[in-house]
């Protein structure tokens, strides 16, 4: 009986060690990819990179699927930096548009950045501290993200301001829910690959920042001369 108890204890200890390792590796890699993404965003700004429009979509999914395919090898690290570097680069023209196109552009960018950081740290910290299971959000978030993505595509084609506003607000809520869900998956053992955990959290942070910035721009209306 004691042997069985010791076996269970060792098993639980191993699971805890593995989970802590995934958490540590995930947040270390996330910090590095965010820094690299910030660098490529800065490069996109100073080089006056053009808006890529719908071209972003095939490149986004191509690099995303490549990272997933390479997630168990060292090339997965290279792929995730390629993905986050590209996504950061696409931020360059958006940030230039906000800063140069609005009289309060720099303030909107900083507010979006600050809110994104606060929301991520609060939600991720809450999930890590309470260790609550948010796996029940998975199905709802998948449907909501799909609807919001289709809505964003419709907005590109039909140029409806109210639709843009609704989609941006929806992405703020979906991205926030994703942070809770993804952090919960790491803690509960639903996600054991730190590369995939990192890219999931990165996408949520990216979408959250972009959506907040778009909301500020649409609600501001103060264009610079």
Q: Would you call 223 helix, strand, or coil by DSSP?
A: strand
Q: Which residues contact 97 (CB under 8 A, 6 or more apart)?
A: 51
- The token pair at 74 is 């060292």
Q: What is the pLDDT of residue 8?
A: 47
Q: Which residues contact 111 (CB under 8 A, 6 or more apart)?
A: 212, 216
Count Cβ atoms below 10 Å from residue 146 Cβ, excluding itself.
11
Beta-carbon-side half-sphere exposure of residue 100 (alpha carbons within 13 Å)? 9
- The token pair at 22 is 């995934």
Q: What angle do CA 118, 122, 123 make, to 5 degrees?
A: 120
Q: What is the pLDDT of residue 13?
A: 60
Nearest-CA neighbor of 63 among 77, 78, 82? 82
Which regions of the chain are under pLDDT 70?
1-17, 155-161, 221-225
**Torsion, Cα of 206, 41, 215, 224 (10° steps):** 180
User: Distance of alpha carbon 95 from its chain centroid, rounded?
Assistant: 17
- The token pair at 101 is 């196109």
Q: What is the pLDDT of residue 190?
A: 74
pTM equals: 0.86
């Amino acid at each position: 009986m004691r042997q069985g108890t010791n076996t269970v204890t060792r098993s639980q200890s191993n699971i805890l060690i593995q989970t802590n390792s995934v958490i540590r590796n995930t947040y270390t890699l996330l910090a590095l990819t965010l820094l690299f993404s910030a660098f490529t965003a800065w490069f996109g700004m100073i080089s006056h990179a053009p808006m890529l429009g719908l071209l972003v979509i095939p490149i986004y999914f191509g690099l995303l699927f490549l990272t997933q395919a390479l997630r168990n090898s060292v090339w997965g690290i290279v792929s995730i930096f390629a993905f986050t570097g590209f996504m950061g680069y696409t931020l360059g023209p958006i940030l230039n548009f906000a800063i140069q196109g609005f009289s309060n552009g720099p303030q909107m960018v900083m507010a979006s950045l600050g809110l994104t950081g606060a929301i991520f740290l609060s939600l991720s910290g809450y999930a890590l501290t309470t260790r609550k299971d948010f796996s029940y959000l998975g199905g709802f978030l998948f449907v909501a993200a799909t609807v919001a993505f289709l809505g964003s595509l419709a907005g590109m084609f039909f140029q409806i301001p109210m639709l843009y506003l609704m989609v941006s607000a929806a992405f703020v809520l979906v991205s926030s829910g994703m942070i809770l869900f993804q952090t919960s998956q790491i803690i509960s053992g639903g996600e054991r690959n730190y590369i995939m955990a990192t890219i999931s959290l990165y996408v949520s942070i990216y979408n959250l920042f972009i959506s907040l910035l778009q909301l500020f721009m649409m609600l501001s209306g103060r264009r610079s001369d």
